[in-house]
Structure 1
Amino acid sequence: MKVAVTVQHAGHVHFFKHAIAALRRRGHDVRVFARDNEASIELLEACAIEYEVLAGESDSLLSLAATQGVYEARLLRRALAFEPDVLTAIGGVAVAHVAPLVGARSVVFYDTEHATIIRRLAFPFADTVCTPDCFRDDVGDKQVRYPSYHELAYLHPEAFEPDEAILDDVGVAPDDTAVLVRLGDWSSSHDVGASGIDDPADLVERLEADGAAVLLSTEGDLPDGLESHGFDIDPGRFHDLLSAVDLYVGEGGTTAAECAVLGTPAVYVSDLTLGYLDELEHEFGLVRNCAGDDTASAVDAAVAFLDRPAAEFRRRREDLLAAKSDPRDTIVEQITGTPAGATASADPVETPAKHTG
């Protein structure tokens, strides 16, 4: 088969990297098309995945619309030349629009209920919409529900082995209680009108007062007065850090879920709710969801998590892994229409990376 994979964020690279490798091992011709956005290109290079850049970043909803138009037009031209059997993506606005124009099938993966713009532009045109079984909405006959989370596609224990030594590299002593606080930038189309941590300085101060060593990560500049809490690591080691810290408090839903599947408790602070985070809270006790305008509740949730033994969260993670499947096989099966069989090596791909502008 000929398969076109599109990625617009670093998280999309993580989600598809093992499936790309598995498809290529099975002899399929896989082309990867990307937007230069949120470290996506850096991660493609790190994973040695061949790709072609079709568009760059955007800094507003208006520029996002323009960038999306360029991205879709260029994807259409590449697809007409490549003649793929399947186009696939997370969100999938471009692939859902381009696939019928080139006689291909579109397979869209998604897990974000509040992303109404993306859903309205993609779902009606997609052939298959794959969602975790905790996705709250009914997409109709084209929906395929599977018992897992996006994050397990790259953080399942058979796909990822963390390096706990990462704490030394960020200046955290072995006996310290390490808390990672992460702030978002709220510029995505699905974040319009939402908010998260209302007073980062107050949150950090309260966590420190409880004895925590606080690491601060942002998608932009560090807030004034909190620069000393910043750190610098290779982006490819971020998941090592999520596994090594004792707690995560932040505005990113994906990061909260990544922590949960790694066995690190997470406090998600946002006005936006997500089906997978609700399930991770109520079914597995690995996440606490807090409103964005209530720092006190977030601190209380953080302290409650830190008061419990780490072994408890390891047991909760084992319960999660027993209940959920490894989604790597699901990705391959939905793309090819045939069973994936046993998932092979977690190595992303063997060929050297290259790119074109």
Structure 2
Amino acid sequence: MRIFIDIGHPAHVHYFKNFIKIMEKRNHQFLILARNKDVTHKLLDYYDINYVDKGKGSNNLFGKFIYGIYSILKIFRLAIKFKPHLFFSFASPYAAQASTILNKPHITFTDTEHAFTNKGLILFSKIVCTPKSFKRDYGDKHRRFNGFFELGYLHPKYFSADSSVLKKVGIREEEKFIIIRFVSWHAGHDFGYKGLDLRVKVQIIEELSKHVKVYISSEDELPKELIKYQIKLAPYLIHDFMAFASYFLGESGTMTTESAILGVPSIQVSALPSGTIGSLEELEHKYGLVKIYENFDKKILQDIIRYLNKRDAKKEYLKRRNQMLNETIDITNHMIDLVDEIMDNYEN
């Protein structure tokens, strides 16, 4: 089977990389179209996944509109030559629309309830696949799985953290450190929302750095006073580094989920109303791996410092993580099952 995948974000590389490798061994063929966003292309190069460049896109509304037209036409032209049997994407409205024009099925994945593109995805997709905790119902097209997309690459079946990453940043194995993540808030589903302002960011870093080593991951360029805290690692090593962190604090839903799945206590400070994202709510209320705040509060820093001073505190989080792993499925296998279902329909 020939499968066309549209990738728009670095996280999508991780979501699909194991699926692609497994399916290639089964003689399936892929055409990967990838936006040049952040480290997306670097990750694809590292994992030896061939791709076609889709350009950088834009952060303003008019630019997004123009890029959308360009993307659909690009997919359409490539697909005419490739002749895919199936389109795959993580919430790509471009792949959804192009697949409809070409009369081919589109399987889309999403865990973002508030994305304004969801209505289009439902209309133009054969299957919409979400975590079980997803708070919206898309009818007969909706397939739910018990788990999280991040398990497709951070499950122990696929990932084992390499402690040698600590030497690369000058940390001893027994040394505590915290990872801070700032996002740009330029994504389409973030329209209308704002993140932490610079004053608060500086306040967070200055206070936490008095008690523990601090490392920052940021989508936007950091101001001069914070550059010295920036993580200096190849992008494919970030999950190894995250696995050894004592704590995670950030705006990113994806990295919050990743940290939780690795057994690292995590806090998300998000402009989104509490309870917006079902998967994060499940990690918070069912498994106790995450805490979510709509606004920054000094209590957050006090709680983190209190935790850092506890002995063997991480053991409890690893226990919670094991419970989560025992109660969830491998999303990569679920993706394979969905393709097998489509193949059966072709053959019948």
Alignment TM-score, normalising by the size of structure 1: 0.90
Instruction: Identify the residue that residue 111 of structure 2 maps to in structure 1.
Output: 111
Alignment pair present for 1:296 and 2:298: yes
- 1:182 Cα deviation after fit: 1.1
Provide the secondary structure at the position in 2 that maps to 1:225: helix
Instruction: Identify the residue that residue 147 of structure 1 maps to in structure 2.
Output: 146
Q: Which moved more, 1:185-194 or 1:56-65?
A: 56-65
Alignment pair present for 1:182 and 2:181: yes
Q: Distance in 1 between matches of 2:95 and 2:342?
A: 21
Instruction: Identify the residue that residue 320 of structure 2 maps to in structure 1.
Output: 316
| Deviations 1:285-329, CA, capped at 9 Å, x for gaps | 11100123x231422442354346111111111001001111110
- Structure 2 gap ranges (5+): 344-348
- 1:135 Cα deviation after fit: 0.6
The answer to whether the Cα contact below 8 Å between 2:178 and 2:249 also exists between their aligned partners in 1 is yes
Instruction: Identify the residue that residue 203 of structure 1 maps to in structure 2.
Output: 204
- 1:212 Cα deviation after fit: 1.4
Which segments of structure 1 move beyond 4 Å, counting only runs of 4 or more?
none
Instruction: Identify the residue that residue 342 of structure 1 maps to in structure 2.
Output: none
Could you tell me which amino acid in structure 1 is paired with residue 314 of structure 2? A
Instruction: Identify the residue that residue 52 of structure 1 maps to in structure 2.
Output: 52
- Cα pair distance change 1:336/1:315, threshold 3 Å: same
Provide the secondary structure at the position in 1 that maps to 2:213: strand
Could you tell me which amino acid in structure 2 is paired with residue 204 of structure 1? I
- 1:67 Cα deviation after fit: 1.1
Q: Distance in 1 between matches of 2:205 and 2:6?
A: 38
The answer to whether the Cα contact below 8 Å between 2:72 and 2:98 also exists between their aligned partners in 1 is yes
Could you tell me which amino acid in structure 2 is paired with residue 232 of structure 1? K
Could you tell me which amino acid in structure 1 is paired with residue 325 of structure 2? L
- Cα pair distance change 1:303/1:134, threshold 3 Å: farther
Task: State the superposition RMSD in angstroms.
Answer: 1.7
Q: Distance in 2 between matches of 1:103 and 1:65?
A: 23
| Deviations 1:321-352, CA, capped at 9 Å, x for gaps | 0011111101111123179xxxxxxxxxxxxx
The answer to whether the Cα contact below 8 Å between 2:8 and 2:92 also exists between their aligned partners in 1 is no
Alignment pair present for 1:237 and 2:234: no
Provide the secondary structure at the position in 1 that maps to 2:238: helix
Instruction: Identify the residue that residue 346 of structure 2 maps to in structure 1.
Output: none
Alignment of 1:268-347 (within 5 A): 268-272=268-272, 273-292=276-295, 294-306=296-308, 307=310, 309-337=313-341
The answer to whether the Cα contact below 8 Å between 1:59 and 1:187 also exists between their aligned partners in 2 is yes
| Deviations 1:124-167, CA, capped at 9 Å, x for gaps | 21110000001111111100000110100111111111112322
Q: Distance in 1 between matches of 2:223 and 2:85?
A: 47
The answer to whether the Cα contact below 8 Å between 1:197 and 1:295 also exists between their aligned partners in 2 is no
| Deviations 1:94-153, CA, capped at 9 Å, x for gaps | 1211112222111000001111x2212322211100000011111111000001101001
Could you tell me which amino acid in structure 1 is paired with residue 36 of structure 2? D
Q: Distance in 1 between matches of 2:303 and 2:123?
A: 39
**Sequence identity of aligned pairs in percent?**
29
- Cα pair distance change 1:304/1:276, threshold 3 Å: farther
Alignment TM-score, normalising by the size of structure 2: 0.92
The answer to whether the Cα contact below 8 Å between 1:180 and 1:214 also exists between their aligned partners in 2 is yes
- Cα pair distance change 1:215/1:63, threshold 3 Å: same
Aligned length: 336
The answer to whether the Cα contact below 8 Å between 2:122 and 2:128 also exists between their aligned partners in 1 is yes
The answer to whether the Cα contact below 8 Å between 2:59 and 2:187 also exists between their aligned partners in 1 is no
The answer to whether the Cα contact below 8 Å between 1:203 and 1:295 also exists between their aligned partners in 2 is no
Alignment of 1:6-155 (within 5 A): 6-115=6-115, 117-155=116-154
Instruction: Identify the residue that residue 226 of structure 2 maps to in structure 1.
Output: 226
